[in-house]
């Protein structure tokens, strides 16, 4: 049962984001709610798989065999005998390592498809290709959220909330959560609900840092210090 559970868990974590993008986004959000991030969560699942596989082989025993006598239902059970499974353990280690290598071969792209990043500082260039010799398409400021489409070397291929795509240098990005206003103007409220008072308004393109989220509402903070809640459907990011 442990081995079957490990197979299901690994398949869910690794193949889920490939088959269903919404599932990948859910996994990323779940991982980011804990201490570790999405990449670390994947690594922990891989280690768990290896440990469960080893445990299963260590528990392997020669089961008690029944000897049936002719024309009778009586039987004897032989005592359980421990099996020298050192060779089996070596086999499972090799198989598990090969299995993990195959998974990690496409791991970077799977993570990239479901990963969000934000710009780490002001005046960061988004270029047309993965290199400083490519044309500058946009200049982005700190906190601007981006969806990672892929990677090449030390560059991320990204897309913003308006659908514009380009490349940014990885070290100039951060895993801090931000959202950007995607409507012409929105209300920032004192609490999560339309019945609460409006503390400020934000225009399209304004970047807000994410502090917390509750159901369909996000608690945000503007760089000016204004804090409040906005409806999730009015912003883009994480």
- What pLDDT shows up at residue 36? 46
- What pLDDT shows up at residue 215? 81
Residue extent(s) of CATH 2.30.30.40 domains in the chain:
115-176, 179-237
Q: Which CATH class is domain 179-237?
A: mainly beta
pLDDT in tens, 72-104: 444 444 444 444 555 555 555 555 555 555 455
pLDDT in tens, 20-58: 545 555 555 555 554 445 555 666 666 776 677 667 666
Q: Which of 141, 160, 138 is nearest to 149 (CA)?
A: 160
69 pLDDT above the threshold of 50: no
Token pair for residue 211? Answer: 């502090």
- What pLDDT shows up at residue 42? 62
- Of 113 and 166, the structure prediction assigns the larger pLDDT to 166
Task: Summarize the confidence of residues 117-143 as an average pLDDT.
Answer: 96
What's the CA gap between 136 and 40, in Å, rounded?
33
Contact 133, 164 (CB under 8 A): no
Q: Which CATH class is domain 115-176?
A: mainly beta
- What pLDDT shows up at residue 214? 86
> CA 165, 168, 174, 180 torsion: positive or negative?
negative
- What pLDDT shows up at residue 60? 57
pLDDT in tens, 197-231: 999 999 999 999 999 988 899 999 999 999 999 99
Largest CA distance in the chain: 90
- What pLDDT shows up at residue 90? 58
Average pLDDT, the chain: 75
What's the CA gap between 187 and 230, in Å, rounded?
7
In this prediction, residue 159 has a pLDDT band, given cuts at 50, 70 and 90, of very high
139 pLDDT above the threshold of 70: yes
- What pLDDT shows up at residue 114? 61
Strand extents, DSSP E, the chain: 61-62, 66-68, 75-77, 81-82, 116-119, 124-127, 136-140, 145-152, 155-159, 165-169, 173-174, 178-181, 185-189, 198-203, 207-214, 217-221, 227-231, 235-237
Q: Is the pTM of this model over 0.75?
A: no
Task: Summarize the confidence of residues 144-162 as an average pLDDT.
Answer: 93
């Amino acid at each position: 049962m442990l081995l079957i559970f490990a197979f299901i868990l690994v398949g869910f974590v690794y193949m889920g984001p490939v088959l269903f993008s919404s599932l990948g986004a859910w996994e990323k959000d779940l991982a980011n709610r804990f201490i570790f991030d999405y990449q670390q969560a994947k690594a922990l699942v891989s280690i768990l798989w290896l440990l469960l596989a080893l445990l299963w082989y260590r528990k392997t025993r020669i089961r008690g065999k029944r000897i049936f006598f002719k024309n009778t239902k009586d039987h004897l059970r032989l005592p359980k005998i421990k099996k020298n499974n050192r060779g089996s353990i070596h086999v499972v280690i090799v198989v598990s390592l090969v299995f993990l290598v195959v998974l990690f071969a496409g791991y970077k792209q799977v993570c990239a498809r479901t990963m969000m990043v934000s710009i780490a500082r002001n005046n960061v260039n988004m270029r047309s290709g993965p290199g400083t010799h490519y044309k500058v398409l946009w200049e982005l400021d700190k906190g601007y959220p981006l969806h990672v489409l892929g990677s090449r070397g030390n560059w991320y291929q990204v897309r913003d909330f308006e659908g514009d795509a380009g490349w940014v240098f990885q070290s100039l990005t951060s895993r801090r959560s931000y959202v950007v206003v995607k409507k012409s103007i929105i209300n920032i409220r004192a609490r999560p609900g339309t019945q609460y008072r409006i503390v400020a308004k934000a225009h399209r393109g304004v970047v807000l840092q994410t502090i917390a989220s509750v159901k369909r509402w996000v608690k945000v903070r503007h760089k000016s210090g204004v804090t409040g809640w906005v409806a999730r459907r009015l912003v883009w990011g994480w």
